[in-house]
Amino acid sequence: MRLLLISNSTNAGDTYLNHPKEEIKSFLNGVKKVLFIPYAAVTYSFDEYEKKVQNRFDEFGIEVDSIHHHKNPKKAVQEAEAFVVGGGNTFRLLKMIQQFDLIEALRFKVLDGTPYVGWSAGSNVACPTICTTNDMPITEPDNFSAFNLVRFQINPHYLDAHPDGHAGETREQRINEFLEMDPYCYVVGLREGTMIKLESGTIHLIGPKPARVFKKGMEPKEYHPGDDLDFLFE
């Protein structure tokens, strides 16, 4: 199984998909065409989203074929050379994936070796559920179960900040609430500008910042690029 799970598409002040572009290019080396899943888009069209991603993937010599053009989305999944799942609203993304009955078809392909790249919401749906997303539930999927490609949960765009004068919960407090409901699961707080790559049964953290890992009954711990993260398979 080969996964590249990216916290965010764009760093503050940067251009679209600039920070992960070299990793994406290397990860998809040899791929000619990817099946793009744009279903997380809400305030812009799927065509606009496809064009935006294609503009970056032109640098890699890779064609972006959006699934919304296909009359039979499941067949498109079954025939895909690689998957790219974009960010946006995770609830909208999952609802449409479920609507077209794509969960098992895509999961089978990825477990069989088809590369998967996702950022933000696209990383969330690689997890067992979408319960550690940051998004508002603007629409209602059938349930919260996602592709279940990894055993752990990801919280993309993870923030440590607690602004002065803000009385609401921190991101860490929200994750701890999740762990009260699912005490056996690890949650990876994936900070912006970072990503997780899974290849050959090994997990690598990539980027300039550490990841913060949570589990009920354990103190949160910072893991840096190069640290052993294979325990996340447990």
Query: Which residues are marked as active site?
Result: 120, 135, 157
Instruction: Give the Cα separation of 152 and 223 in Å (integer).
Output: 15
Stated length of the chain: 234
**Alpha carbons 153 and 134: distance in angstroms, whole number:** 12
Please report how the helices 90-99 and 103-111 are oriented relative to each other, as an axis angle in degrees rounded to 10.
Answer: 100
Strands of 153-158's sheet in order across: 153-158, 187-191, 211-214, 221-223
The set of residues, in sequence order, having a beta carbon less than 8 Å from that of 32 and lying 6+ positions away, is 61, 62, 63, 81
Residue 191 CB coordination number (10 Å): 20
Q: Are 190 and 159 in contact (CB under 8 A)?
A: no
